[in-house]
Structure 1
Amino acid sequence: MNSLEGLLDRPVPAAPVDLTLRRGAARVLMDNWTGASTVPSPALYPHQWSWDSAFIAIGQRHLSARRAQRELESLLAAQWSDGRIPHIVFNPAVAADAYFPSPDFWQSSTAGRAAGAPPAPETSGIVQPPVHALAAWLVHVADPAESRRRGFLARVQPRLAAWHEYLLTRRDLGGRGLAALVHPWEPGMDNSPCWDRALARVEPATAGTFRRADLVHGHPADRPTDLDYGRYVRLAADYREAGYDDRGARHGFAVEDPSFNALLITSELALAAMSHELGMPGERYTERAGRLTRTLVERLWDAEAGLFRVRDLHDDTLVGEDSVSGLIPLLVPHLPEDVVRRLRATLLGPRFHAPATELVPSYDLTGHAFDSHRYWRGPAWFNTAWLIHRGLRAHGLRQDAERIRSGFLEQATRSDFAEYIDPATGEGRGARRFSWTAALALDMLCADHEEFRP
């Protein structure tokens, strides 16, 4: 489909304001489409990002189920043979200096060869949250006939199963069953205060040995500090020098994150649904999701704080920072009732109920490290709001979910699909016409959220 009208050939909402939003979101996705996948933002993020593509496919399915399938298929084509889905797939047509760390830094096809990196395309060596199986299932149910005609689930299910196997074996660094993260970029919440304690142990890369391309397009006040960025570079370089070997590397940073593992649980249930659709047994995924849920509560739930917390595997203790990551486990369908009740109270309380937005701040509004502008240290993001909205609905908290949905759609429109929102003023921040904001606005507008009941 090459026209906006073609992408709008599915039934549209009747209200004029909804049609305006739908057309605006569709235009963003068209403009950011490269022919095989969708960039998050052409200037700031000019390649394919892993969890971005999953969120983009979730929204794109309301315009074109086939294009949504292609979004996920193009990402999975770069999967490593050990099962990992890399967090960036580099477009060789983009100038090498357009983004850092570049393909020359990651050296996936050479440094990652022993770990299973493909010879092409070049990718990063780290991962991002496992939203992909949930996305694939939602894309399937948007147009089951088209999915079956193309054999979509039959092709992606084995790859997604291998991805989960990688996370649950090679990344079980704590030995208790949860997936661990080895870089602050992996949970997608790059410079959250949750990582500060672990990062403080990392010697940063020497100043002047790398160039921050992100500051060409983003204001320094919004972005990670040079000190933190130097630590990110050091961790990535050390992982590369270890051949991206999860068990052989000496990880200077290793944590268990509640959001990442909650998404893994939800995607395990999606794998079970896919397996049943394909006439295969799916009980192993359902049972594994149950075990993961129990371990998530045992390892990461902080009853006193009323939310889940990150566990630092360096000393096997919980990190005393309150972040949106600790609320996203609302997605998990079989949480204990008292945990759901406490999470809701935390969500509606002074730490996360922002004065200027119904989206959820990325960090405790009353916390010592809160910064309303700086990336993941306070701003409210559309993708985390979508996840929490879905979790609220899963637990029957429809009034709370509708409040988030209404605020989401209003601010997506008003901010021109901004990357994130200042929770103190309601101002859009970061990039505009951001792909996952547009895609998830489409989903909020169009989706029947009963379509996936784990």
Structure 2
Amino acid sequence: MSTSGKKVLHEERVLSDEEIKAGAREVLYKNMISGRRNDFNYHYTKPSPGTYPFQYFWDTCFHIFTLTALGEVDMAKKHMHSLFEMQRPDGFVGHMNYWKRLWPARITDLLQLRPHDVLRLYRPHMSALLQPPIAAQAALRIYQHSQDLSFVKQLLPKLKKYYGWLARNRDFEGEGLLSIITPFESGMDWKASYDPLLKYDRGKAGPLLFWKVLQVDAHNFLKGYDLPAIYKSNRFIVKDAAFNTIYVQNLQAMAALCNVAGEEDGLHFLEQARQTEKSIVRYMYDEEDAAFYDLHGHQFEKLRVRTGTIFFPVVLKSVPDEVCRRVLGRHLLHQDGFHVPFPVPSLAVDEPAFNPDGSLYIWRGPTWVVFNWFMQGYLLEKGYRQQAEELLLSVKRLITKSGFREYYNPFTGEGHGARDFTWSGLVVDMINRLQEGTQRM
């Protein structure tokens, strides 16, 4: 992590843990909404007022991590139940649940519906897309904070159907790696590693990139989100490093939930996790660059762009320690391309597409709290306590300076994007992790 700002750290006031927790609680409750419509009960938190008005899949899971860290376990349960309220019989759950506000906010949202759902916008419905499948970890976190076995037994059948749908429908090649079919499914819209596949070679994002991504969604829409047809066309078939890392973690969480419930399926999920881990190392890892790259196409071609997810797979236990040390040492600790006052940038600073400022085209340079949250747990587990502390302190400084924003300039700490943005509340979980680590020492 960067130490270039250490002198500044001793001179500036940083919000206390209690002040940050109070702020995160206020943001969550300000954005919370509940009700009943067409026999569905919903209870969720908007990621931000106005900008993101729907219930989003991985956003809801992030809210659960923050809520449980704040001691709001019952509220976290309501969020999880709402997320699976409209689950299809085959197990699918979309990346957006449209509850109170039914009409999509953007044209991209409209194209992310199945064609027949466009004609039924008057009632609650889901999008046709996915987001990173972090629901099992969120459910396990609720259990860890509540020891509520009845909650696990009620939710587990739905989770089994959901992860079963993923394995049947998105592991096209049987290698354990899930594919996304549009940039929006990664949760990291406009991620620069997708530019080569989109045939966008202008570096900094502009209107042409918007239309190229829109064409991908239009292509999927016109095919009626027929997955075999979409795969055959090979227009946008990407195995994202972060998406698949999260998939492994959640297969392992599924095994833990099965064990808690006294069910025998746990071994099945562990076997799936092992297969995916092996494929991540085999296909995504690039020894020369010491990086895990996203893959595209039927031939698993590497997308050689250094986004902030090139080191995500180091958190997986089966990744050799030597590989983990090389990746972390080169990119996160020595910061080859990631040397900034406020880590972790979403794109290496020397990549042509890097833009640290506010933009429609996000995830192309600014710092998001979720990257720091994701890596901090691993760093603590592996004994990198100083680096874990620095990641947390960086987030505290960002929130002190700019509030709970969607993302931040990695050089100045200036906040950009949505205001009162709930993801930044993950700092509460980071605070608790560090305190728990101290208590165990």
In structure 1, how many angstroms separate the alpha carbons of the residues matched to 2:86 and 2:141? 21
Task: Give the partner amino acid of 1:289.
Answer: A
Task: Provide the residue aligned with 1:31 in structure 2.
Answer: 30
Name 2:3's counterpart in structure 1.
none
For structure 2, list consecutive stretches of 5 or more residues without a partner in the other structure: 1-13, 35-42
Task: Find 1:340's aligned residue among 324, 349, 354.
Answer: 324
Tell me the SS of whatever aligns to 1:101: helix
Q: Which amino acid aligns with 2:249?
A: T
Separation in structure 1 between the aligned mates of residue 126 and residue 324 of structure 2, nearest angstrom: 38
What's 1:446 paired with?
432
What residue in structure 2 maps to residue 66 of structure 1? 74
Look up the SS of the partner of 1:196 in the other structure. Answer: helix
Counterpart residue identity of residue 138, structure 2: A
Report the CA distance between 1:78 and its aligned residue. Answer: 2.4
* Matched ranges for 1:155-194 at <5 A: 155-194=154-193
Superposed CA deviations along residues 207-261 of structure 1, whole A, max 9, x for unmatched, are: xxxxxxxxxxxxxxx9x63222222322222222322221132341011111100
- For residue 363 of structure 2, the aligned residue among 376, 382, 389 is 376
CA distance in 2, matches of 1:230, 1:78: 31
**1:261 equivalenced with 2:244 (yes/no):** yes
Give the partner amino acid of 1:246.
L
For residues 364-414 of structure 1, give each alpha carbon's deviation from its aligned partner in whole angstroms, at most 9, with x where no partner exists.
Answer: 112222111241111111112111112223333322222212222332333
Gap regions ≥5 residues in structure 1: 1-14, 202-221
Q: Does 1:87 align with 2:95?
A: yes
Q: Which residue does 2:334 correspond to in 1?
A: 349
Residue 126 of structure 2 is matched in structure 1 by 123
1:307 is matched with which residue: 286, 291, 300? 291
Counterpart-to-counterpart distance in 2, 1:366 and 1:398: 28
Shift of 1:32: 0.5
Q: 1:299 to 1:72 in 2, by over 3 A?
A: same
Tell me the SS of whatever aligns to 1:185: helix
Task: Indicate if the aligned counterparts of 1:109 and 1:120 stay in contact, CA closer than 8 A.
Answer: no
Following superposition, which runs of at least 4 residues in structure 1 exceed 6 angstroms of deviation? none
Q: Secondary structure at the match of 1:96?
A: coil
TM-score, length-scaled by structure 2: 0.85
**Alpha-carbon distance in 2 for matches of 1:17, 1:266:** 31
The aligned amino acid for 1:239 is N
Change (3 A) 1:394 1:352: farther
Name the structure 2 match of 1:78: 86
Match of 1:244 among 225, 228, 237: 225
| Matched AA of 1:247 | P
The 1:386/1:135 distance shift into structure 2, 3 A limit, reads same
In 1, are the aligned partners of 2:175 and 2:276 still within 8 Å (CA)? no
The alpha-carbon deviation at position 106 of structure 1 amounts to: 4.2
Deviation at 1:23, TM superposition (A): 0.8
Match of residue 290 from structure 1: 274
Q: CA offsets, 1:408-438, max 9 Å, x none?
A: 2332333211111111222111112101112
Partner of 1:232: 213
Where 1:364 maps in the other structure, the secondary structure is: coil
For 1:34, what is the secondary structure of its paired residue? strand
With over 3 angstroms needed to count, the CA separation of the structure-2 counterparts of 1:112 and 1:125, relative to structure 1, is: farther
Residue 158 of structure 1, CA deviation: 2.0
How has the CA–CA distance of structure 1 residues 337 and 101 changed in structure 2, closer, same or farther, with 3 Å as cutoff?
Answer: same
Letter in 1 for 2:431: L
Alpha-carbon separation, structure 2, partners of 1:274 and 1:169? 21
* Residue number in structure 1 paired with 2:373: 386
Pairing partner for 2:383 from 392, 396, 416: 396
TM-score (norm 1): 0.83
Separation of aligned partners in 2, 1:330 and 1:442: 23
In the other structure, the counterpart of 1:5 is none
Q: What percent identity do the matched residue pairs reach?
A: 28
Q: Matched residues in 1 for 2:408 and 2:436: separation?
A: 24
1:94-140: per-residue Cα shift (whole Å, max 9, x none)? 2736444345x444482599xxx999522211111111111110121
Aligned-residue RMSD, C-alpha: 2.6
**SS state at 1:243 partner:** coil
1:355 is paired with a residue of what secondary structure? coil
Q: Measure, in 2, the Cα distance between the counterparts of 1:107 and 1:179.
A: 20
Q: How many residues are aligned here? A: 405
Distance 1:119 1:336, change over 3 A: farther
Contact 1:193 1:377 (8 Å CA) reproduced: yes
By how many angstroms is 1:337 displaced?
Answer: 0.6
Describe the SS at the equivalent of 2:228.
coil
Q: Distance in 2 between matches of 1:419 and 1:393?
A: 25
SS in 2 for 1:325: coil
- Within the alignment, does 1:42 sit opposite 2:49 as a pair? yes
DSSP-derived class of the 1:326 partner: coil
Which amino acid letter does the alignment assign opposite residue 63 of structure 2? I
